Chain A
């Protein structure tokens, strides 16, 4: 991730409630979200494997990235993912399908629309479904998942517009 994009977006995964369809004991949500690429979530059941990310409020989503390591995980590495959005479990709609070939490191599985004027996805609920693994593997390994929201909608003092002269900005907030 470049430094510039880091300034324009913010990770909001810690504001969400995470759940998984299945997990091997000791390889669950905690390992998926611990910022450690040596630990991973391992599913333990039939496909599709699901990651459910539920927000308290409608969250604008700019990007979703996952960390996988084909060299270590081999047949556990996901090859086809579906991303679904909605308000609860019952009204999910598929918004994107991403196919991966031998991914290694951070992969962005959902991108913001390239047209800057287009509306961002805003949703309460995001589900990442792993539909297939490499070499027809059954269970899956994902090491990290990150959800990003754009920064420009946020952090404004007293919901003021962004002023462009310092004389104005000085009065726009106390510190």
Chain B
């Protein structure tokens, strides 16, 4: 699932006929000043300014300001831009029009096994979170479109009046069309508000998650996906991603501060089981890593260097299941080269290395690892006869 920031998210909703507030995304005060000459609503409406970054709890962080006039919005932008929260620096602010309203509602479409599920409630904002039983749901099978009558009935069930239910049904129909046509995995509008004056339903705040795998059929997805991570990537993580983008197979690396057990396992499935075993045995993960799909040895070497450069590591888990077609000798060659480099740079002092692996050329690969003992590495090597995660038990001394 790929998260999309509010700006592009609102753009997609607008494309499918959903009313959204006027908005602009700016990265400088000057930009807003220029835009305010062109767009009258910036001068005439009450405004909201929000940091346009993948950050949780923006309100608490003071990165959401409401009820502003243009001068207030300008001041808010000046204050927000460049603010550092963890490893994220605020570089964009979204300024949107405040929609005057009395009532708030909730609407969402999420992916379900059968296809999708439409959710609606006649309360919104924080109220819906506290009253989740008021949310009414409708499953829609993939390839089908819900009939207006069905949606209207759903709205009635959620407690909307007859007249309102027709409007809500129309809104839900558009939201579903957006979900279905844009390969979305989650669309949540909270709140939906009835605009004072014309009573039109407007999507004031939205969460948009798209299926990154469907990018090939959406040439208008020109926006970047936001980090799903809740923090920006570190330099080492970005280095490994750059390698990953170049190669056949894959290498992945995520740092976890404060851990002492470094992970260098093979395979997306096994790597999580190895991480689980570390946690189950009371260890503290220093990172997540994975290489799979028979990557070139130099890519594994880069990954190994990053793992070895983690601070304060006591154990390195070079685990892996019995590979289908990843060449053990070759990928271990990359790991060994990485280890040697790290050792030459004075890293790995006091770190114990634990190896378990099987697959094509397993004997040669494991033998090469064992030979590292002669070079002064503290390394224990096991073959397919040792159960997958037993090296974690041994490393963390829960098993002799």
Bound together: no
Q: B residues near A, CB below 8 A?
A: none
Q: A residues near B, CB below 8 A?
A: none
